[in-house]
């Protein structure tokens, strides 16, 4: 399986600058994360109006990749995402929906049940991508992938991936998966280069695996500096947009920022259009 940046003129998907894919799979460079949609670790229905407004704003802006998990708001994020999609004008087949199985549900039967529960909450027939959210101490990865492989064979899941996996576990997952591992979702930002130091990014880039960067803006706590600010001014952009542009300038890297502010939701999406020069990339990388 080889991933390349390819043109996709579909109105519900992104252009070649914004996308990263192959003939049967196109992923936008910038998707929408749903951590803190519907609550934090537990559901908080009082936040539903704000959460639904953010999801509707993302759909109206043109986001097509939505990343969620059964862990987010104890499943309520999935419920709200499904509700927002059903009330929108966007067709399910135009979207790429990712969800994740929690580390406490990695036994064979638990994985199958977790996927069924996610599909029920989303009110969808399939997931485009299903990830192991975190590795768990003492997990039997063979049993986990036996279930994941069954979900793919049964048509409940189209693609498999992992999240927060180190290099050793990522390689083990490749051996156990009957279909290609298409992503490892990990923290990655201007200030967090841990997945460069541990070799995960380079391995992904050399083995046709997408690195999906979460917390690309350090959850809104992005540290600014003179270099970042100067480059932002040169592009008439915000420092947050430049930080996102730097993340996705790396080969085989996409990202899933989240915001509840419609203005920021739109700005994050438009960051995919910013083309940094090689000199600017090097300045940010070395800064």
Catalytically active residues are: 72
Distances (CA, A) of 48 to 80, 85, 119, 261, 281: 8, 14, 20, 14, 39
Give Cβ neighbours of residue 105 (< 8 Å, ≥ 6 apart). Answer: 70, 111, 113, 114
- Dihedral angle of Cα 205, 132, 40, 76, to the nearest 10 degrees: 120
- Burial classification of residue 73, based on how many CB atoms lie within 10 Å of its CB (0-12 exposed, 13-18 middle, 19 or more buried): buried
| H helix or E strand, kind and range, residue 244 | helix 239-249
- Dihedral angle of Cα 221, 250, 158, 170, to the nearest 10 degrees: -90
Residue pair 287/227 in contact (Cβ under 8 Å)? The answer is yes
Give the whole-angstrom CA distance, residue 179 versus residue 160.
7
| H helix or E strand, kind and range, residue 270 | helix 262-270
Q: Residues of 134-153 as b/e, b for ≥16 C-beta within 10 angstroms?
A: bbbeebebebbbebbbbbbe
> Which residue from 117, 140, 139, 142 is spatially nearest to 130, judged by alpha carbons?
117
């Amino acid at each position: 399986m080889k991933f390349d940046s390819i043109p996709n003129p579909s109105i519900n998907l992104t252009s070649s600058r914004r996308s990263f894919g192959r003939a049967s799979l196109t992923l936008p460079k910038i998707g929408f994360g749903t951590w803190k949609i519907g609550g934090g670790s537990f559901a908080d229905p009082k936040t539903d109006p704000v959460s639904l407004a953010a999801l509707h704003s993302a759909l109206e802006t043109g986001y097509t990749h939505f990343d969620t998990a059964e862990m987010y708001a104890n499943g309520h994020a999935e419920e709200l995402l499904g509700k927002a999609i059903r009330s929108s004008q966007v067709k399910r087949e135009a979207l790429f929906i990712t969800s994740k199985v929690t580390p406490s549900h990695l036994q064979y039967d638990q994985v199958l049940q977790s996927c069924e529960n996610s599909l029920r909450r989303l009110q969808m027939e399939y997931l485009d991508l299903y990830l192991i959210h975190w590795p768990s101490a003492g997990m039997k990865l063979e049993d986990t992938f036996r279930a994941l492989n069954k979900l793919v064979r049964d048509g409940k899941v189209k693609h498999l991936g992992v999240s927060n996996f180190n290099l050793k576990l990522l390689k083990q997952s490749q051996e156990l998966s009957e279909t290609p591992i298409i992503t490892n979702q990990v923290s990655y930002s201007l200030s967090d280069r841990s997945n460069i130091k541990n070799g995960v990014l380079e391995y992904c880039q050399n083995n046709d695996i997408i690195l999906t960067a979460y917390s690309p803006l350090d959850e809104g706590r992005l540290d600014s500096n003179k270099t970042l600010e100067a480059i932002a001014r040169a592009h008439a952009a915000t420092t947050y947009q430049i930080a996102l542009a730097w993340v996705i300038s790396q080969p085989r890297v996409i990202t899933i920022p989240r915001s509840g502010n419609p203005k920021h939701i739109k700005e994050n999406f438009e960051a995919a259009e910013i083309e940094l020069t090689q000199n600017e990339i090097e300045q940010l990388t070395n800064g």
